[in-house]
Amino acid sequence: MTAGRLDRAAAIGRLRNEQFDVLVIGAGATGAGVALDAAARGLRTALVDGHDIAYGTSSKSSKMIHGGIRYLQQGDVRLVWQALRERRHLLANAPQLVRPLGFMIPVYRHGGLIPRFMARLFGIVLWAYDLVGGASVVGKHRRLSKDEALALMPSLVAPEVTGALLYFDARTDDARLTLAVARTAADHGAAVVNYGRVVELIKDDAGHAIGARVDTGDDSIDVAARCVVNAAGVWIDEIEAIDQGPGHELMRPARGVHIVVPTTALQNEDVAVILAVAKGTGTGSVFAVPWIDGGFTYVGTTDTDFSGPLEDPFITGDEVDVLLAHLNPSITTPIESGDVVGSWAGLRPLLKGAPDAKTADLSRHHRVTRWPSDVISIAGGKLTTYRAMAEDTVDEVVKVLGRGGKCTTKGLALHGAAGYDQVGDGGLGAEVRDRLVHRYGADAATVITLATEDPALAQPLVPGLPYLRAEAVYAARDEMVVTLDDILARRTRARLLARDATAAAAEDVAALVGPDLGWSEDEQRAQVQRYRASVEAERHSFESTVTAAAAAAAGREHAQGWVPGVKAWGALRRR
């Protein structure tokens, strides 16, 4: 295997021939984190996923690395403290990928998330948030005047705005972060294989799991492992059914949707803004976050029960209407569905709670379960806390194996962090260099070299988007690409930002990466056909409607069902 690259063929060979200490099923953020923690402790580790790395929730989240102020309303100070601690670790271990971002809450004369008379009291909550979260790294919260608030987002309806509160969290490209975790695991010796579907668990005569049968698409491999970890996210119950049979469900998936518009529509290039939903459309809030690469803003999110197919839970037209109905009363120029250039829908892998509980109220804590077969499951949690979830899981693995040291990931830099701030621009300019560095870290040097040695690769991959053709070539050579969608949806995020434009560019992209991936002309055509069919299915869902009752429910169960103030401060004080 070439150093630093993800080589799928070599990793499949290892699955076939090696005896592993731990086999991790699921290459989302949590599973990749488990693989990294285990490998960093010196355990022989394999990581497999039936789809691509970060295919599910870990590429379709809200892309925030945050404590979650709204959890204070639920009195869950422990979760906020843990998440803020993990935010500090990520800012230190992956500064190339995780960057601070200001979040502004406008204060109005009437209405809004925070009543005007409550703004000062809520500032006390933000002081506590600063204290726990390490404000010296991300910045301290502060009050803004009306003019300062409107300068940060001129599209706000001005007459009712009296000022704002500004606090700081962080953001990331979730798919790139998850890939970096998986690559760091590989750097520490883990065998990483995407599109390796577990079809059977292999057990000894006593019923203990000693491996799994993995379908790689071309072959079926029996992977030998002394311990098996189920970190399959929203698919965790499917693996539990293979292990324990039906009736051991842990998950209650919750659907969250986001829409993407040009940043010029909202004019919030430098700050995320949290707005109260319009009266009569639901309760809670809606946020507008500038895309990490610039040029776009995404708006979200909903939080509703989901019981459909777990693959590709595309957004519907009515869900778009719900989000716009929440957003538009707060801005001067309403956004229409035709202004939406991209979207995504993701499923949160929430732990089951009371049957009548709203998904927005379900715990974001995680749970490690060791089954009679000695399969260890890790369920629940959130993107920000993936490392802590992995630590708890591997602690249980160590108990099963009777060997393995202590966790070392609290201070372990992720792939690409070392030397990321020393990368030169190669003549492409500082703006291009900075964007690439904050996607690839030190590996941006390789992308820049590709683009400078072949000027054709310095051209846009998809017209209107910032991604370079060199990024697709790099992905094909170094980042274990199997499908065209891997490149357009996860290695770059072109599909999320410009769905239809990526379909138009699909043939050109397939021809560009085909030689590196060994695709014949027939395979290139097949990849394009599959990609465009998927985009067409997404477009059809986007243009479709659901019942009015379902749309109303989506509004009522809005994800940011949070009214800060006395209630939140009281919860904090009681702890």
3-state SS, 338-360, equals HHCCEEEEEEEEEECCCCCCCHH
Tokens in use for 160?
A: 């009712």
Distance CA 83, CA 77 (A): 10
Q: Could you count the other beta carbons within 10 Å of the beta carbon of residue 357?
A: 13
Output DSSP code: residue 328: G
pTM: 0.90
Distance CA 366, CA 351 (A): 7
Domains in the chain and their CATH numbers? 8-58+175-250+361-411 (3.50.50.60), 71-171+252-349+554-574 (3.30.9.10), 421-543 (1.10.8.870)
CB 310 within 8 A of CB 233: no
Distances (CA, A) of 545 to 303, 320, 533: 18, 10, 20
Tokens in use for 42?
A: 């010196």
Distance CA 49, CA 28 (A): 8
Distance CA 497, CA 317 (A): 17
CB 141 within 8 A of CB 126: yes
Q: Could you count the other beta carbons within 10 Å of the beta carbon of residue 566?
A: 13
- Beta-bridged to residue 197, according to DSSP, are 215
Return the C-alpha torsion angle 532, 536, 538, 543, nearest 10: 160
In the block, tokens 């708006």 appear at: 299
Per-residue pLDDT for the chain (575 aa), expressed as one digit of tens each?
Answer: 344 789 999 999 999 999 999 999 999 999 999 999 999 999 999 999 999 999 999 999 999 998 877 666 566 678 888 899 999 999 999 999 999 999 999 999 887 777 777 777 787 778 878 877 767 677 888 999 999 999 999 999 999 899 999 999 999 999 999 999 999 999 999 999 999 999 999 999 999 999 999 999 999 999 999 999 999 999 998 998 888 777 667 767 788 899 999 999 999 999 999 998 876 555 678 899 999 988 999 998 777 666 667 777 788 888 899 899 999 999 999 999 999 999 998 888 877 653 444 444 445 578 898 989 999 999 888 899 999 999 999 999 999 999 988 999 999 999 999 999 999 999 999 999 999 999 999 999 999 999 999 999 999 999 999 999 999 999 999 999 999 999 999 999 999 999 999 999 999 999 999 999 999 999 999 999 999 999 999 988 888 754 333 433 333 333 333 222 222 222 222 32
Instruction: Give residue 549's pLDDT.
Output: 34
Provide the angle, in degrees to the nearest 10, between the axes of the packed helices 548-556 and 317-327: 40
Give the three-class secondary structure for 13. helix
Distance CA 101, CA 290 (A): 9
Instruction: Give residue 574's pLDDT.
Output: 30
